[in-house]
Amino acid sequence: MRKKSVSYAKYGYIFSIPFVVAFLVFSLYPIVYTLVIGFTDLRGLGVKEYHFLRTAEGNLDLFGNFRTVLNNKTFTTSLKNTIILWTANFIPQISMALLLTAWFTDRNFKVKGQGAYKILIYMPNIITAATIAILFNSLFGYPKGPVNDLLMKLKCIDGPRNFSLQRWTARGVVSFIQFWMWYGNTMIVLIAGVLGINPSLFEAAEIDGATPTQIFFRITLPLLRTILLYVLVTSMIGGLQMFDIPKLFLNGGPDQATITSSMFIHEQAFSGSYLYNRASAASIIVFGIIIVLSIILFQILKDKDEVARRKYLRAQRKAARRRVNS
């Protein structure tokens, strides 16, 4: 019988060291730098000196950049677009991913060739955004292009349409591309989640005579909650940072209909005036929005398991202490 004090807490710290060190070495400086310049007058190429903002009278005026950005109509437009584009691609994305997950994990009906389907459905995520953007640009070409040709052949329109000038078509296409590039990814995450569920739960349900639909909604979905939280939070973060496709597809057009907040940040910093301070302030605002939305998501999908786990660990710690004391 070993007589050792069994407090395992130190392993929590030890196992976190690599993460913390790598973060401190490579990411801390860039992040702090980004956060700080949002409050300064840093703009222009190669400028190294910067000062915190002051009013004309010399008082500190730390939030000057934030005021400017919030009053910037392009910024508010970009926020609005980002939310529209994210919603329009996320709802179909998660629905389709859930549907496919249900199909591919159905224990009564093994979809033949599902291995191949899973692989193929993820494939749009492998191609670079640039390639996809070019492809869709050509598809919607004007005055000649496959979509125009097809619609004209089907007599839906009598002359070629310049789709790149239609706000909602442009938004629709951007959302579709995002949906199409990511639903396979989401599906794989969800399937991995289902595979982590203890099969005996399904077996028990089957013995009780549950239908596949019931099993999916009563067992699979509730147990997928932790993974769903991950999907929601990361895709919200990814969605609010959407950049490649709207940038490469129509460069934010037409008339700023597809400009996103990340594009706005990028343009402030890199399109000629090097307004690093404003770009940073806009980043911080977006960061704030993401945090608020994440907290809401965490509240809704309340970490029930986390609460249970905390209780378990606490009980364990107490038990360990008792063992040491006795």
Among 91, 111, 296, 324, indicate the residue that binds another protein (CB under 8 A).
Answer: 111
Contacts of 14 (CB under 8 A, 6+ apart): none
72-101: contacts with another protein (CB under 8 A): 72-75, 100
**Cα separation of 24 and 47, whole Å?**
25
Q: How far is CA 299 from CA 19, 159, 294, in A?
A: 27, 52, 8
Question: Is there a contact between 131 and 214 (Cβ–Cβ < 8 Å)?
Answer: no
11-40: contacts with another protein (CB under 8 A): 11-16, 18-23, 25-27, 29-31, 33-34
CB of 99 to another protein, least distance (A): 8
**Cα separation of 63 and 24, whole Å?**
27
Q: Which amino acid is at 10?
A: K
CB of 175 to another protein, least distance (A): 15
**Cα separation of 125 and 123, whole Å?**
5
260-299: contacts with another protein (CB under 8 A): 262, 265-276, 278-280, 283, 286-287, 290-291, 294
Q: How far is CA 77 from CA 26, 33, 83, 263, 312, in A?
A: 34, 27, 10, 11, 48
**DSSP character string of 201-214:** HHHHHHHTT--HHH
Q: Is 324 near another protein (CB under 8 A)?
A: no
CB of 152 to another protein, least distance (A): 13
- Pick the piece of the chain touching another protein (CB under 8 A) from 8-16, 50-58, 59-67, 85-93: 8-16
CB of 121 to another protein, least distance (A): 5
198-257: contacts with another protein (CB under 8 A): 198-200, 223-227, 229-230, 233-234, 237, 240-241, 243, 251, 253-256
User: Please, which residue, 91 or 99, has the CB nearer to another protein?
Assistant: 99
CB of 302 to another protein, least distance (A): 13
Q: Is 42 near another protein (CB under 8 A)?
A: no
134-173: contacts with another protein (CB under 8 A): 134-135, 137-139, 141-146, 162, 165
Among 54, 67, 107, 115, indicate the residue that binds another protein (CB under 8 A).
Answer: 115
Helix (H, G, I), strand (E, B) or coil at 52: strand
- Count CA within 13 A, CB hemisphere, residue 174: 33
**Cα separation of 75 and 78, whole Å?**
5
Q: Is the dihedral of CA 10, 13, 17, 19 positive or negative?
A: positive
Among 91, 296, 302, 305, indicate the residue that binds another protein (CB under 8 A).
Answer: 305
CB of 47 to another protein, least distance (A): 9
If binding means CB under 8 A, how many residues of this protein chain bind another protein? 129
